[in-house]
A and B are shown apart, each in its own frame.
Chain A
Amino acid sequence: MTIALTPAEWEALALSLKVAACSLALVFVPGIAAGWFLARRNFPGKVLVEALVHAPLVLPPVVMGYALLFTLGRHGFLSEALFDSDLRLAFTWKAAALASTVMGFPLMVRAVRLAIELVDLKLEQAAATLGASPWRVFRTVTLPLALPGVVTGSLLAFARSLGEFGATITFAGNLPGETRTLPLALFTELQAPGGEGPAMRLAVISIVISLAALVASELIARRIARRLGRSE
């Protein structure tokens, strides 16, 4: 087993990182917004919304993949309603990013929500009495104090994206260079005799990336903790 990666492995690696980065970008703002909403607002039907948000955590990923196909696939009902069936999304790398986004969303929401619930409401009240609008309170008090949760959520969503398989293969297919991310490449290798070696290499790459992401987030979280003046 050599260390140098083959072009196909580079391709899968680069694609995985691109898809993960995009899905993180997609999940970031809505994830924070939904986390805040669930942490700070009560409304009728909240339980239902919570269940819906967390559905991807408990449903088989393939089901989510089919759900995406039925909504945003070639003849999905949203595609037909909004794009006149002209939506060319499924089986592109954007579909892979979207599938990862959907799967990572609950992880982001959960982490952010827990972090925001830990932010003392009294500090937000104090900020309000000092003349800060709700938006400014969120930006300057809530969000900075919930930053560790945002980092954790982002990492989880990113990692989920790197490992996402079922929804991706269903909604985005397994197109080399387009949607064949690391796990799909790994699985593909195992479909033919003699694929064990390459599969092992891909597994090692996955492990290295995941560990790197974990270490990075840990370092960032520590920095933030120091900045927040909390003891570690």
Chain B
Amino acid sequence: MNPGRYESRKMYLGRQLLLAVAFLTSSACGNRAPAPNTFTVFAAASLTPIVEELVRTQDLDRTARLHTAATSTLARQLESGAEADLILTAHPEWIAWLVERDLIEPGSVRDIASNELVWIVSNESADTTSFLISPQFGTDANSRDAGTDSKASLNASAPPDSAPDSAPNSNLNSNLNSAFNLPPNARLAVGDPAHVPLGRYTREALIALNLWSDLRPQSLPTLDARSALRLVELRQAEAGIVYASDATSSARVTIRARFPRDLHAPIRYQAAALRGASPAARAFLDTLSSPAVTPLFRTFGFLPPAP
């Protein structure tokens, strides 16, 4: 069989399926018939709250259709023929992957935000359980070697000129010292370092702090950033390392410490136009990357893109 024909047939089938889904969705949503200048945004799940807010403030409710999932899922859907105008990703590797497949409009990729890692505990544990991570506890005589190690490595790996906009850096020292004194049975929710971007940043940061080998046995790798947060919310893990934006969105966890951003590769949220993106979509892309939205990103716990 002619591979090209097979390919086009596959695309055709995919399109039919998508149309069917779109039809079902639109009819299910009732009176929200799409206007002609409609465009579709595929957004990483972690960006959902802010993109929704943007759409609302930009008065794009009627034109922008938002589809959110894990970045990996979105990328694979696009490869399989899903039609969208913009993609917003949580990790540059998927943009590269899409570029490789020639799905991205050349030159349209841009950084829209950054993030930082934070150490969180559940509100309930923070209030009720004294043995859990608390700044005072960190000075305990029983504190493990790891504590002193971390201090040493932290000093060594944190040059004074790094991350001037990272406000929590000042109290980092005491916080981290105590924070990493995890009781032996406690679990630490982290992104899966083998597969999840959050996990990779976490591993890098903990390796830089010389804590990885100590904390790894107690770590509870999750399949995405949100699950790590949820495990702490549900008190299935005593502590977790998650994105600041996720921690900010949850009322059930308390941020105990913030990691310096130079301990790991920069966290980069990127946006790009897909081939054949509509003008309205391009305009929205410009909005996303303009300095005007920086305050909004901050409100949601994100940081401006690293320079």
Partner of A174, one of B72, B223, B237: B223
Q: Is A3 an interface residue (CB 8 A)?
A: no
Of the listed stretches A44-52, A68-76, A105-113, chain B binds A68-76
Q: For this complex, into which size category does the number of interface residues on chain A fall? A: 20 to 34
- CA of A73 to CA of B233, assembled, Å: 13
**Nearest CB in chain B: distance from A11 CB, A:** 12
**Nearest CB in chain A: distance from B100 CB, A:** 9
Q: Are B234 and A91 in contact (CB under 8 A)?
A: no
Q: Which of A73-122 contact B (CB under 8 A)?
A: 73-75, 88, 90-91
Q: Are B97 and A74 in contact (CB under 8 A)?
A: no
Query: Quick one: closest B residue to A88, CB to CB?
Result: B185
- CA of A88 to CA of B220, assembled, Å: 13
Of the listed stretches A23-31, A151-159, A188-196, A208-216, chain B binds A188-196
Q: Is B93 an interface residue (CB 8 A)?
A: yes
Query: Quick one: closest B residue to A91, CB to CB?
Result: B220
Q: Are A191 and B235 in contact (CB under 8 A)?
A: no
Of the listed stretches B22-30, B134-142, B191-199, B241-249, chain A binds B191-199
Q: Are B97 and A193 in contact (CB under 8 A)?
A: yes
Q: Are A90 and B236 in contact (CB under 8 A)?
A: yes
Q: Is B222 an interface residue (CB 8 A)?
A: yes
Residues of A within 8 A of B224 (CB): 191
**Nearest CB in chain B: distance from A79 CB, A:** 11
Per-position 1/0 for B183-195, Cβ under 8 A of A: 0010100001011
- CA of A206 to CA of B150, assembled, Å: 43
Residues of A within 8 A of B76 (CB): 190
**Nearest CB in chain A: distance from B87 CB, A:** 14
Q: Is B304 an interface residue (CB 8 A)?
A: no
Q: Is B280 an interface residue (CB 8 A)?
A: no
- CA of A169 to CA of B195, assembled, Å: 15
Which 10 residue pairs are nearest across A and B when measured between Cβ atoms? A193-B97, A191-B195, A75-B235, A192-B195, A191-B72, A74-B236, A174-B223, A188-B195, A73-B236, A91-B220
Interface residues of B (CB under 8 A from A): 70, 72, 75-76, 93-94, 96-97, 185, 187, 192, 194-196, 220-224, 231, 234-237
User: Could you give 7 example pairs across A and B, Cβ below 8 Å?
Assistant: A73-B234, A73-B235, A91-B220, A169-B223, A174-B221, A176-B194, A188-B192
Interface residues of A (CB under 8 A from B): 69, 73-75, 88, 90-91, 169, 173-176, 184, 187-193, 195
Known: A74-B236, A191-B195. 16 other contacts (CB 8 A): A74-B235, A74-B237, A75-B234, A75-B235, A90-B236, A91-B220, A174-B221, A175-B220, A187-B223, A191-B192, A191-B223, A191-B224, A192-B194, A193-B75, A193-B96, A193-B97
